Amino acid sequence: MRLIEAKFKSLERRGEGALIGYITCGDPTLNHTPVIAEALIEGGIDMLELGIPFSDPIADGPVIQRAAVRALRAGVRPTMVLEIARKISMAHPDLPIIILTYYNVVFRMGLENFFSLAKESNVSGVIVPDMTIEESSEYRAIASKYDIDTIFLAAPSTSNERIKKIIECSSGFLYLVSVFGVTGVRERLREESINLIRRASTVSNGRIPIAVGFGISKPSHIKNIIAQGADGAIVGSKIIKIIEENINNQKEMLLNLKKYIRRLKKAALKTSQP
């Protein structure tokens, strides 16, 4: 059993939804990333999503775009991100680490080389937002060869028939994009998000865990999506915003991150009350 699947099963036994925290690797510097990751882990994240900074992150809103710019200016490269993943995994061998990147990065490194390095770095899964299932057969074959999960996304506009096809091509979990548009902090969950969770849960019928991202930033969001049938929540923009707001005060940054994550994790308990 792969690490992501094992983590979801363990959390399910404990009556918890998964809390997945996203950070852009190298924001604001490469040295910050392990320290920030440690704060998130201490706060209670169940999985860590590390973003490889990219010059044209089409799925990301302004907060994460600024983080990518800071990381690129700091000289961060894909191999450095994988090395950071390796160091974090050595300290936390039971923590699934997921890489988010764009296909151009993987293509330039070469599929075999990328997944070989990812395996050496103990990466559990990879998300490539701009890759379609129709173009993914070679990618998925090589990822599977190195025992790394391929995580695909589905959006509110995705039909039930296509969700079924995406699930057939996915492993680890299905990533539900809760809203139309890009990543970013939002005040409330929309009806389209709730409908998507319900539809995906029905189509999946327990075959693969479902995690919801894009706009998830409050404990109430997490309680709601767990109540609707999701198995986990992915939080990124709000975490990056806390980093950005405290960029010159690391002590305050880490303290605020831990406090924020603890609040979110409490909301992921399936027995918790609103």
Tokens of residue 22, six digits = 């996203």
Alpha helices in the chain (DSSP H): 3-13, 32-43, 62-73, 78-91, 103-109, 111-120, 137-145, 160-169, 191-204, 219-227, 237-245, 250-267
Question: Would you call 49 a catalytic residue per the annotation?
Answer: yes
Tell me whether residue 23 is in a domain: yes
Please report the pLDDT score of residue 188 as a whole number.
56
Q: What single letter denotes the amino acid at residue 187?
A: E
Question: Would you call 60 a catalytic residue per the annotation?
Answer: yes
Helix axes 237-245, 62-73, angle to 10 degrees: 60
- Helix, strand, or coil here: 104? helix
- Helix, strand, or coil here: 37? helix
Residue 123 sits in which domain range?
3-261
Q: DSSP of 155-195, one letter per residue?
A: -TT--HHHHHHHHHH--S-EEEE-SSS-----SS--HHHHH
- Which secondary-structure segment (H or E) carries 59? none
pLDDT band at 141; cut points 50, 70, 90: very high
Is residue 237 a contact partner of residue 185, using CB atoms and an 8 Å limit? yes
pLDDT band at 186; cut points 50, 70, 90: very low
Please report the pLDDT score of residue 190 as a whole number.
67
Residues 134, 223: Cα–Cα separation, whole Å: 34
Please report the pLDDT score of residue 92 as a whole number.
98
Q: Which of 16, 46, 60, 231 is catalytic?
A: 60
Tell me whether residue 273 is in a domain: no
Tell me whether residue 9 is in a domain: yes
How confident is the model over 35-50, as pLDDT tens digits?
Answer: 999 999 999 999 999 9
Give Cα separations from 266 to 22, 173, 218, 260, 272 (angstroms).
18, 21, 11, 10, 7
Closest alpha carbon to 102 in 130, 71, 137, 142: 130
Sole residue written with tokens 């970013």: 184
How confident is the model over 71-98, as pLDDT tens digits?
Answer: 999 999 999 999 999 999 999 999 999 9
| Average of per-residue pLDDT across 245-262 | 97
Residues 123, 17: Cα–Cα separation, whole Å: 21
CATH number of the domain to which 149 belongs: 3.20.20.70
- Bridge partners of 174, per DSSP, are 210
How confident is the model over 189-204, as pLDDT tens digits?
Answer: 768 888 999 999 999 9
pLDDT band at 272; cut points 50, 70, 90: very low
Judged against a pLDDT cut of 90, whether residue 4 lies above it is answered with yes
Residues 16, 266: Cα–Cα separation, whole Å: 9
Tell me whether residue 206 is in a domain: yes
Please report the pLDDT score of residue 193 as a whole number.
85
Tell me whether residue 269 is in a domain: no
Is residue 60 a contact partner of residue 22, using CB atoms and an 8 Å limit? no
Judged against a pLDDT cut of 90, whether residue 252 lies above it is answered with yes
What is the count of structural domains for the chain? 1
Please report the pLDDT score of residue 87 as a whole number.
97
Q: Which of 5, 16, 46, 49 is catalytic?
A: 49
